[in-house]
Amino acid sequence: MPAFDQPALDTSPEVSDEIRKTTCYMCACRCGINVHMKNGKVKYIEGNRDHPVNQGVLCAKGSAGIMQHYAPSRLRAPMKRVGERGAGEFEEISWDEAFEIAESWLRPIRETNPEKLAFFTGRDQSQSLTSWWAQAYGTPNYAAHGGFCSVNMAAAGIYTMGGAFWEFGAPDWDRSKLFMIFGVAEDHDSNPIKIGLGKLKANGAKIIGVNPIRSGYNAIADEWVGITPGTDGLFILSMIHELMKAGKVDLNYLTRYTNAPFLVNEDRKSAEHGLFLRDEDGKPLVLDRATGKPIAFDTPGIKADLAGTYRHAGHTHRPVFQLMAEKYLSDEYAPDAVADRCGISADTIRRIAAELAHVAFEEEIVIDQPWTDWKGEKHAQMIGRPVAFHAMRGISAHSNGFQTCRALHVLQILLGSVEVPGGFRFKPPYPKPVEAHPKPHMGINPGKALNGPHLGFVHGPEDLLLKEDGTAARIDKAFTWENPMSSHGLMHMVISNAHAGDPYKIDTLFMYMANMAWNSSMNTNGVMDMLSDKDENGDYVIPHIIYSDAYSSEMVAFSDLILPDTTYLERHDCISLLDRPICEAEAAADSIRWPVVEPDRDVRGFQSALIQLGSRLGLPGMVNDDGSAKYQDYADYIQNHERRPGVGPLAGFRGEDGKGKGRGAPNPNQIQAYIENGGFWIDHIPDEALFFKPWNKDYQDWAVSRGIYDAPQPYVFNLYVEPIQKFRLAAQGHGDIQPPERLRKQVETTMDPLPIWWPPFEGTLVDIERFPYHALTQRPMAMYHSWGSQNAWLRQIHGANPLFVSGEIWLDTGFAEGDWAKVTSHHGTITVPVVRMDALNGKTMWTWNAIGKRSGAWALEENASETTRGFLLNYLIDELLPEKGDGQRWANSDPITGQAAWFDLRVNIEKAAAPAGNNSQPHFPAQKSPVGKGPKNVTYGDDF
């Protein structure tokens, strides 16, 4: 027996030569990271403790950044396609040649038909640059990926309450006592949510998870509501029914801070039906309880009535709140009436509604902090209702998603729990009323800039982007009668519309960071065909495709010209208040990325390449008077561009002295100041301005001082959204701008100014007996979309994705461990491995999103597990709905916003023999890798 002999250890080894602080980009969360450098290489990445987003912690993705940065799939140089589209055959070229090719396509069409460029960026975090570039180019065809992601959540939030979840708001994690989380993608805002859940748990708050699948956050929820997919809106409206019936709503809050008292024209024959009664200045009117007379809603000192009626010019007017009572007190929304459809017992619905009421009204929070409202009234305390909500893609990616998200916000507002202690709080630059957002623009002037921003918020039929002949101005048909409020565009329709030449043909498709030839498209195999389809002359139907990516993704193989991007550690970026910021409820904040490692390949940050391409094309704002480039690269732009005088991409360290906050002249040392400050800037909101922000005078003044607004913008929440009613009025025959007959009924029934619910479209169009089940995808916390799946460490966690099948379906189908299944939708069939899961809605099956890879992509071996056992559900999902028999094809989207209805999918499942080679089906032939294959084995760290 060896003697006990303990070796001496060096317990203080040197950790690194230097720490460089930048911003993570392993997902869209944008945490601060400390990058430990040793011998010029990245040794270790940890969370930055001072950073407002992650407060020191870091998720699996962030910790795997080393494997991403050194990934073998990194592109090395610009490339031009030399084989057929899809084959993956390329020749590396110089940047000069790449720019010359791009210019040869883009310059001529700009002079004649700038709309022939469709520029769509994917999970872009530089939309204030890319949209500005597209506007300068002059094409109306620009958007990012919101249309296939979560525009329902964003648009419903902004139309209803002038702000939305995630970047624009968050639960009050420190004070909430009851938290409900609906259908969240576990990769979104993941560290703040996990930090927040930890705080709620430590404080003894109750967490209720509403999700068909009990994974991740739902696993630790105190209560799990395994709801039937697509019925969240019905569940929420039923709780609203219960709360209103019991009078458990915050009447004081509703009269002060919402449009509940606004008087609505009730005369169905009137051309103003459903619109607000307004004074001569256009201000909506409310009834003053003291006088019984109508008066402007924002008159100081009045008490608005919710109970009265007012007759004016022969029309009866009633407050919004009465219309709500009439609608939601109906038995249609009683728990017993909705329970079966939701898959939730009526008792559970009643109990959760009672718990919300109990916590909101019996456990209110009082903070002894005086504040002054927008009318000048002083309040001694801040009183809060400590119920908070969060939701994301799970409730929004349905064809009833917009109204469902609206319903959730209306519930929050009825409880008086928005912008109060313990509730939901906005993050600067929000709150911001919908009226303060831009409207969409389509004014094309060949050779010149577009006449305004592409995307925005419509306020009625007059704001639609329709040409004189009534056809769509945009290639994605955003802002048309098919989806009037498509605030983020419809990226998922671009390729199919361009291929069909409907509404018109384009010349060049220019995309960034969007894997449209794989997991980012519905109908993946169809899209691959469209991208490689040729016309009768043998030319590609979509003539030119320019694509920028850092890695050898599936989409690269389908492109003609590749602009290779850097990794996130090699680039400049700004996480800007003009874009999707990193602010917190108690502070404005923004941040940068900077090259903590210099690229060792001939690659450029996409934003730098875009600016350089813009100046070569002579785009306005990108060249000086003598035609020379105004900005050398993205860093130059970040530091020197001014969107408005004194307001630029970064809010911190402005002015020549570097002391400007929000406003100030460009500072030539600004980026260095950020680096010295840990890669970010933060500016705390004063205590008296921390809550009630839309109505808080001190917040409004602070926001103006920081350049967030140019004048105070107080407003009230829209329980009732008047612009929606304007579309419905048109569908009812009022006004000059009329929907086409085929869409009239859809517009009339879906554009309800108060939230309603309808069954997801796909389920009403297919034979439910044939397709009795729901199929969903979720994103895992340890893998992000398409840009992480080749990561050597993360692929050992999520290297293949089985189909998880509920215990009920498992037993009904007679599955056994190791089985394969054939899953069929109205659109397609897949054959995949199955695994039983009981913590799952009984009628539902699901899988992890974007794990499956095409053979040959991402520098993986051709038989990598992602390509053999991995698969996509996308093959089952069409961008169009099944035929209705009316001679039309309808988009598989929300009829209000156009959001892709990924989660409406209905399927059948049966046992199947294991496919040949144990490859999940469909299985596509390998693409040729333009970067070769990764090394066999990795032993990272052996040289430190």
Partner 1 sequence: MTALPQSTEKKLGLVIDLDTCVGCHACVINCKEWNTSNYGAPLSDIDAYGAEPMGTFLNRVHSYEAKQDGKNAQTIHFPKSCLHCEDAPCVTVCPTGASYKRVEDGIVLVNEDSCIGCGLCAWACPYGARELDKAEGVMKKCTLCVDRIYNENLPEIDRTPACVRTCPAGARHFGDFADPDSNVSKLTAERGGMELMPEQGTKPVNRYLPPRPKTDVTGIGKIDILAPYLDPVPEQAGGFLGWLDKALEKI
For the window 868-907, what string marks contact with partner 1 as x by the rule CB under 8 A?
A: x---------------------------------------
Instruction: With H, G, I as helix, E, B as strand and everything else as coil, classify residue 542.
Output: coil
Give the C-alpha distances (Å, rounded to integers) separating 667 from 94, 640, 648, 675: 33, 7, 10, 14
| Shortest separation between residue 222's beta carbon and partner 1, angstroms | 5
Q: Are strands 310-312 and 206-210 parallel, antiparallel or unpaired?
A: unpaired
Span near partner 1 by CB under 8 A; candidates 348-356, 387-395, 534-542, 620-628: 348-356
Radius of gyration of the chain, Cα coordinates, nearest whole angstrom: 27
Phi, psi angles (nearest 5°) of residue 154: -70, -45
Under the criterion CB under 8 A, does residue 377 sit at the interface with partner 1? no
Region class of 696: left (phi > 0), else alpha (psi between -120 and 50), else beta: beta
| Shortest separation between residue 66's beta carbon and partner 1, angstroms | 6
**For residues 6 and 628, which CB has a smaller minimum distance to partner 1 in the complex?**
6
Tell me the CA end-to-end span of the chain in Å, nearest whole number: 35
Span near partner 1 by CB under 8 A; candidates 446-454, 554-562, 750-758, 792-800: 792-800
Which of 212, 226, 274, 788 is in the footprint of partner 1 by CB under 8 A?
226
For the window 251-270, what string marks contact with partner 1 as x by the rule CB under 8 A?
A: xx--x---------------
- Site residues for partner 1, window 2-41 (CB under 8 A)? 2-7, 9-15, 38
Which of 273, 278, 283, 289 is in the footprint of partner 1 by CB under 8 A?
289
Span near partner 1 by CB under 8 A; candidates 250-258, 271-279, 631-639, 815-823: 250-258
- Site residues for partner 1, window 402-421 (CB under 8 A)? none
How many of the chain's residues bind partner 1 (CB under 8 A)?
A: 119
Phi, psi angles (nearest 5°) of residue 441: -125, 150
Sign of CA pseudo-dihedral 709, 715, 719, 723: negative
**For residues 151 and 776, which CB has a smaller minimum distance to partner 1 in the complex?**
776
Under the criterion CB under 8 A, does residue 923 sit at the interface with partner 1? no
Q: How far apart are CA 872 and CA 812, in angstroms?
A: 24
One-letter identity of residue 427: K
**For residues 197 and 907, which CB has a smaller minimum distance to partner 1 in the complex?**
197
Which of 786, 865, 899, 920 is in the footprint of partner 1 by CB under 8 A?
865
Neighbours of 808 (CB within 10 A): 15
**For residues 185 and 731, which CB has a smaller minimum distance to partner 1 in the complex?**
185
**For residues 190 and 608, which CB has a smaller minimum distance to partner 1 in the complex?**
190
**For residues 136 and 208, which CB has a smaller minimum distance to partner 1 in the complex?**
208
Decide if 670 contacts 625 (C-beta within 8 A).
no
Under the criterion CB under 8 A, does residue 793 sit at the interface with partner 1? yes
| Shortest separation between residue 773's beta carbon and partner 1, angstroms | 18
Under the criterion CB under 8 A, does residue 942 sit at the interface with partner 1? yes
Under the criterion CB under 8 A, does residue 926 sit at the interface with partner 1? no
Q: How far apart are CA 504 and CA 495, in angstroms?
A: 12
Under the criterion CB under 8 A, does residue 56 sit at the interface with partner 1? yes
Under the criterion CB under 8 A, does residue 302 sit at the interface with partner 1? no
Which of 58, 151, 585, 613 is in the footprint of partner 1 by CB under 8 A?
58
Q: How far apart are CA 147 and CA 571, in angstroms?
A: 27
| Shortest separation between residue 436's beta carbon and partner 1, angstroms | 29
Span near partner 1 by CB under 8 A; candidates 271-279, 347-355, 413-421, 679-687: 347-355
For the window 169-208, what string marks contact with partner 1 as x by the rule CB under 8 A?
A: -----------------x---xx--xx-xxx-xx---x--
**For residues 461 and 833, which CB has a smaller minimum distance to partner 1 in the complex?**
833
- Site residues for partner 1, window 62-101 (CB under 8 A)? 62-64, 66, 72
| Shortest separation between residue 802's beta carbon and partner 1, angstroms | 13
Query: Among 598, 551, 552, 548, which residue's Cα sits nearest to residue 571?
Result: 598
Beta bridge partners of 921: 831
**For residues 73 and 135, which CB has a smaller minimum distance to partner 1 in the complex?**
73
Q: How far apart are CA 167 and CA 193, in angstroms?
A: 12
Which of 22, 54, 700, 786 is in the footprint of partner 1 by CB under 8 A?
54
Under the criterion CB under 8 A, does residue 354 sit at the interface with partner 1? yes
H/E run at residue 79: strand 79-81
Which parts of 279-384 are beta strand (E)?
Answer: 285-287, 294-296, 310-312, 315-319, 365-367, 371-372, 378-379, 382-384
Under the criterion CB under 8 A, does residue 380 sit at the interface with partner 1? no
Which of 94, 100, 303, 740 is in the footprint of partner 1 by CB under 8 A?
303
Query: Among 142, 30, 698, 754, which residue's Cα sits nearest to residue 403?
Result: 754
Q: How many CA atoms lie within 13 A of 17 on its CB side?
A: 9
Q: How far apart are CA 873 and CA 102, in angstroms?
A: 34
- Site residues for partner 1, window 795-824 (CB under 8 A)? 795-797, 799, 807
- Site residues for partner 1, window 561-600 (CB under 8 A)? none
**For residues 614 and 678, which CB has a smaller minimum distance to partner 1 in the complex?**
678
Q: How far apart are CA 870 and CA 315, in angstroms?
A: 62
| Shortest separation between residue 346's beta carbon and partner 1, angstroms | 10
| Shortest separation between residue 863's beta carbon and partner 1, angstroms | 5
3-state secondary structure 118-169: EEEECCCCCHHHHHHHHHHHCCCCEECHHHHCCHHHHHHHHHHHCCCCECCE
Under the criterion CB under 8 A, does residue 229 sit at the interface with partner 1? no
**For residues 215 and 713, which CB has a smaller minimum distance to partner 1 in the complex?**
215
| Shortest separation between residue 702's beta carbon and partner 1, angstroms | 29
Neighbours of 863 (CB within 10 A): 12
- Site residues for partner 1, window 722-781 (CB under 8 A)? 781
**For residues 307 and 313, which CB has a smaller minimum distance to partner 1 in the complex?**
307
H/E run at residue 574: strand 573-575
Q: How far apart are CA 653 and CA 639, in angstroms?
A: 10
Here the tokens at position 36 are 């430990």
Span near partner 1 by CB under 8 A; candidates 271-279, 320-328, 553-561, 631-639: 320-328
| Shortest separation between residue 517's beta carbon and partner 1, angstroms | 21
**For residues 58 and 830, which CB has a smaller minimum distance to partner 1 in the complex?**
58
**For residues 103 and 861, which CB has a smaller minimum distance to partner 1 in the complex?**
861
Which residues lie closer than 8 Å to 939 by C-beta, 6 or more apart?
Answer: none
| Shortest separation between residue 348's beta carbon and partner 1, angstroms | 5
Which of 861, 912, 922, 926 is in the footprint of partner 1 by CB under 8 A?
861
Cβ neighbourhood burial of 676 (10 Å; 0-12, 13-18, 19+): exposed
**For residues 49 and 643, which CB has a smaller minimum distance to partner 1 in the complex?**
49
**For residues 17 and 91, which CB has a smaller minimum distance to partner 1 in the complex?**
17
Q: How far apart are CA 927 and CA 855, in angstroms?
A: 6
Here the tokens at position 144 are 């990012």
**String of b and e for 819-848 (b: at least 16 CB within 10 Å)?**
bbbbbbbbbbebbbbbbbbeebbebbbbbb
Q: Are strands 587-593 and 680-684 parallel, antiparallel or unpaired?
A: antiparallel
